[in-house]
Chains A and B, each alone.
Chain A
């Protein structure tokens, strides 16, 4: 830039009308986006406050640790909590290994061809299938065809199929976040693919993989439709308050999500605070699991090595 084109250099930094207009539009944009972001928080707070406040009268230590009575409208929710625990654990034990291992295959071993394209397509579409359809599939496949009957196992397997595509997708994303240059460096020194995966890729993507898996816990705990059709009862009287209330291979169980649905819509004479109390417990479980996922990710990220 020459002096000739800028006869008065002192004024070139002054605020002109155009600059004021820029400032104004910047401010408007910032506020608009900020309000939208804040709007995300409000529903969560309202839901939590409303549910906890309404459920307060029914909430107590006894409520958590005693079994339901009289078709579920009296007593606590212990057997429902245990049922949810069983279902979540078994379904994750099935879907996490299969999902993670197939994602490793797809991301690390598979070459781009018609077979992998079909697998990718299946994963994407499976993730888009509504949960009630998964429930119907589970009813046909596990309950009737495989002869498992309505049982915790059938319900868990149904949920496994539902969560598999999401676990595969999140694991693939975590694996892809490890730079290709690391893999190439390993191959260049004569390491096999498996040595590369075990020593470099997995240790550096484990935080993302675990986070993806844990987030599926809350999804599994909250689903109602698939388990309603495949192995969860509206009410089941059980003895005792230990952890071993059910035989997962043969028994139906209760579950928090199903219990909430039943009490809120079907049961008469239930105290009005009861559904909110169940909702509070379900919500706490989900938020607790999410919080632990965030904590775990933060911990593993702090140990990240590049």
Chain B
């Protein structure tokens, strides 16, 4: 298990971390997070940090709490009846549970779901939905933003002459890129991708992976994936989550070496169990 050295009382922690030069680079801090659905605990008190501008991989089998973890960060877990969150999640040093403007939090944390969801709106409106919901009305700004996001998601060239046709009519791979464009449209500082490549072909996957490498200059990326090799290719650090507990969290050099600290990591990464 991974542990973090911290002062025993909260003020000490604050003091120490203010002096810590690494303080600036901690984008998300999670401390002793527990999540239960209707009394059944699925995340058992995990702690870790995500650094700014890194690609943070999360691997692990189904039911290990990966998606739930992401939903805790942007607080959409609150829409699930019976979900109870304990512990502390900080984004930019701020406790998310105390944030009054949860909509701004969700705009800061872009989320891409496993299956592509084209909203039943035009391609343009799909991408302009979030900025409009946030109150942006200026047509020129919207146009520019929509183009920028579609370009970033590697979709612009394919849809540039049919922006007013329905997003739901696009192919699966295009819809997934549309979903990514929508997640970028509210200009998040953190981008969470939850098994984004599950419904798209390898070629498109590689294109999006290139996009992600570009995007990390501007934002922090959390990449949840079932494809161990994808985490290996893209991530700086990878966390192995299993049954709601962190088995190992380390840089990719260690995680995907022949000698990770935990035997289970080696076995999972190499397909021996899981």
Contact = CB atoms under 8 A, between A and B. Distances in A.
B121 interface: yes
A184 B79 contact: yes
A153 to B, nearest CB: 40
A298 B194 CA distance: 37
Contact of B119 (A182, A190, A304): A182
B74 A188 contact: yes
Contacts of B105: 190
Nearest to A306: B168
Contacts of A112: 81
Interface string B149-186: 00000000000000000101000000000010011011
A176 interface: no
B78 to A, nearest CB: 9
Contacts of A190: 103-107, 130, 133-134, 186
Contacts of A203: 120
Interface string B219-261: 0000000000000000000000000000000000000000000
A187 B80 CA distance: 12
A204 to B, nearest CB: 6
Nearest to A196: B133
B133 A189 contact: yes
Interface in A181-203: 181-182, 184-192, 195, 199-200, 203
B38 to A, nearest CB: 11
B79 A187 contact: yes
Contact of A200 (B115, B119, B130, B166): B119
Nearest to B131: A189
Interface string A202-218: 01100000000000000
Q: Tell me the dominant secondary structure on chain A's binding face.
A: helix
A303 to B, nearest CB: 10
Interface footprint category on A: 20 to 34
B106 A185 contact: no
A189 B130 contact: yes
Contact of A191 (B104, B110, B133, B168): B133
B103 A181 contact: no
A111 B133 CA distance: 24
Contact of B129 (A111, A184, A191, A304): A191
Contacts of B43: none
B111 interface: yes
A131 B105 CA distance: 51
Given A189-B182, A189-B183, A190-B103, A184 B120 contact: no
Interchain residue pairs A-B with the least CB separation, the first 5: A305-B120, A189-B130, A190-B106, A190-B107, A188-B111
Interface of B: 74, 76, 79, 81, 103-107, 110-111, 113, 115, 117-121, 129-130, 133-134, 166, 168, 179, 182-183, 185-186
23 contacts: A112-B81, A181-B117, A182-B117, A185-B113, A185-B117, A186-B129, A186-B133, A187-B76, A187-B79, A187-B106, A188-B111, A189-B110, A189-B133, A189-B183, A189-B185, A190-B133, A190-B134, A190-B186, A191-B103, A191-B130, A200-B121, A204-B120, A306-B168
